[in-house]
Amino acid sequence: MATIDKTQQDAEKQAAAMAAVKFVKNGDVVGLGTGSTTTFAIKELGKRVSDGLKITAAASSIRTEELARSLGIEILDLGSLSEIDISIDGADEFTESLDLIKGGGGALFREKIIASLSKNAIIITDASKKVKKLGAFTIPIEVLPLAYQYVSDQIDKLGGKGVLRIAAGEKFITDNQNLIIDADFGLIDDPAKLSSDLNQINGLLAHGLFINLTSKVVMSEGTDIIIFE
Ligand code: 5RP
C-alpha cells in the first residue's frame, strides 16, 4: 500500500470539506457525520453560521454534537426527523459506483440513519479513500453486547473474520452502548449481496457497508476537486 503524506491528506480533507459546505443553503436541515474530514466541514459550517447562515442540524455522534453546538449550530433530535435536506460525512473507502465502507470512528449506526434520511447525502474524502474494490478496510459492525458471540459466529459462517474492537485497552463502546466487531471479508466482489446477508443477522444493529445511500462523493486530490455522482 502506498504511504500517505499526512499533511497532504489533511489538506485534501479540508479542501473536500470546504467544497461540500458550499452546497448547504439557508433553511437546510443538515446531517453531520463524524471523523476528521467531517470536523473540517463542521468548522466551516460554524463560520458560515456566525456569518448569518440559518440552518439546523442532526449529529451522528456525541463528539459531533458537542463540536457543532460549541460553534453555534442548533442541534435537533435525530429521532424526531423524517427527512434531512443535506448531509456531509466522511468514508473509510469508496468506489466510483458510490458504495462505501464507513464506521472507522465507530459512529456508523447513527451515520446510516442520517444517510437514509438525507435527500442529498454528500461524502467528503481525500484521494486515499478511493478504491477499485471495497474490503482492504475491515467492515465495522455494531452489535448488541448480548448478541456478540452469536453475531461473531454468523460472520464466520459468511466467510468473514471478526475481531472485537478495543480502544485504550478496553472494549470500544459506541455512543449507543454497543460493541463493534471489525470484520475482514477480504476484497468484496458483491458488496450489495454481503450487505444484504449481514442485514439478516439478528442482533447485528448496523454494518459499515453503505450501498445506495450516497448522492455524491466530493474527493480532493492534490489541488483538484473531483465529484463522483
Ligand atoms: C466514522 C466514519 C468516518 O467518516 C470515517 O471513519 C472516515 O474518517 P476520517 O474522516 O477521520 O478519515 O465513518 O464512523
pLDDT at residue 1 is higher than 70: no
**Residue 2 — very low, low, confident or very high, per pLDDT cuts 50/70/90?**
low
Number of the ligand 1 atom closest to the C-alpha atom of 90: 4
Number of the ligand 1 atom closest to the C-alpha atom of 129: 12
- Average pLDDT over the chain reads 97
- Residue spans of the domains in the chain: they are 6-132+211-223, 139-208
Nearest residue to 76 (alpha-carbon basis) of 44, 85, 36, 10 = 85
Active-site choice (12, 44, 111, 142): 111
- Give the C-alpha separation, 148 to 142, whole Å: 9
**Residue 146 — very low, low, confident or very high, per pLDDT cuts 50/70/90?**
very high
- Give the C-alpha separation, 93 to 128, whole Å: 8
pLDDT digit string, tens, across residues 155-178 = 999 999 999 999 999 999 999 999
Number of the ligand 1 atom closest to the C-alpha atom of 107: 14
Pocket residue to mutate for ligand 1, from 37, 67, 220, most atoms within 8 A of Cβ: 37
Angle between helices 6-21 and 36-50 (to 10 degrees): 40
Name 63's Cβ contacts closer than 8 Å, sequence gap at least 6: 34
For a pLDDT cut of 70, what percent of the chain falls above it? 99
Q: What is the mean pLDDT of residues 203-210?
A: 98
Q: What architecture is domain 6-132+211-223?
A: 3-Layer(aba) Sandwich (3.40)
Kindly report the backbone phi and psi dihedral angles of residue 198, in degrees, each rounded to the nearest multiple of 5, phi listed first: -65, -35
Q: What is the mean pLDDT of residues 112-133?
A: 98
The CATH superfamily label for domain 139-208 reads ACT domain (3.30.70.260)
For a pLDDT cut of 90, what percent of the chain falls above it? 98
Per-residue confidence (pLDDT) for residue 30, from 0 to 100: 98
Please state the pTM of the whole predicted model.
Answer: 0.96
Kindly report the backbone phi and psi dihedral angles of residue 49, in degrees, each rounded to the nearest multiple of 5, phi listed first: -65, -40
Per-residue confidence (pLDDT) for residue 81, from 0 to 100: 98
Cβ–Cβ < 8 Å for 94, 123: yes
- Give the C-alpha separation, 177 to 189, whole Å: 32
C-alpha cell at 177: 452502548
Bridge partners, 32 (sequence order): 59, 88
Per-residue confidence (pLDDT) for residue 4, from 0 to 100: 76
pLDDT digit string, tens, across residues 8-38 = 999 999 999 999 999 999 999 999 999 999 9
Does 36 contact ligand 1 (Cβ within 6 A)?
yes
Using the mean position of ligand 1's atoms as its centre, give its distance from the Cα of residue 104 in Å. 5
Strands 216-221, 118-126: parallel, antiparallel or unpaired by DSSP? parallel
**Residue 107 — very low, low, confident or very high, per pLDDT cuts 50/70/90?**
very high
The string of DSSP letters for 36-104 reads HHHHHHHHHHHHHHHTT---EEEESSHHHHHHHHHTT-EE--GGG-S-EEEEEE--SEE-TT--EE--T
pLDDT digit string, tens, across residues 44-76 = 999 999 999 999 999 999 999 999 999 999 999
